[in-house]
Structure 1
Amino acid sequence: MSLRTFARRFTEKVGMSPGRQLIEQRVDRARHLLETTDQPVDEIAGRVGFRRRHTAARTTARRHRRLTARLPAYLPRRPAPTH
């Protein structure tokens, strides 16, 4: 089966592309870890497959806005100042 055929059939069955499904799983896992552990956001981002905290935050925020049209409360709106 070609990659294109797989992606098309996957999307037909699951309702989203394989890439989108992977992102959804990463975001769900990151949310779970943020809610249930004291691990730093950077560590969680790497653990679930995002390269950087900002990528995880941006992806999570984008997904959440699509679902509820607001930024998740557990994500910082801007980085905390370093003094």
Structure 2
Amino acid sequence: MTVLLFGITKDIVGSSTLSLPVSSTSRLRTVGELKDYLSSTYPRLRNLSSLAVAVNNSYAEDSDKIDNFDEIALIPPVSGG
């Protein structure tokens, strides 16, 4: 599974993409489970005020199903004026 990272999430992970091995993701069935996994692997993600996830170019809810072949993007809070 490949996760695209933007903004502060890219800084936290240290890369603009994250390739998760099937051995790690085979038990991840929902967006919420993926967020929990990433938060335990990268604890600084827990400090974000919000974290949106897009699956195949559409915003997803925590209960939405994911698959190893989906394109996943982590979208951190955005500020600006």
> Which structure ranks higher in relative contact order (CA pairs < 8 Å, sequence separation ≥ 6)?
2
Bigger Cα Rg: 1
TM-score by length of 1: 0.28
Structure with the bigger percentage of strand: 2
What TM-score, normalized by structure 2, do the two folds share?
0.28
Higher helix proportion? 1
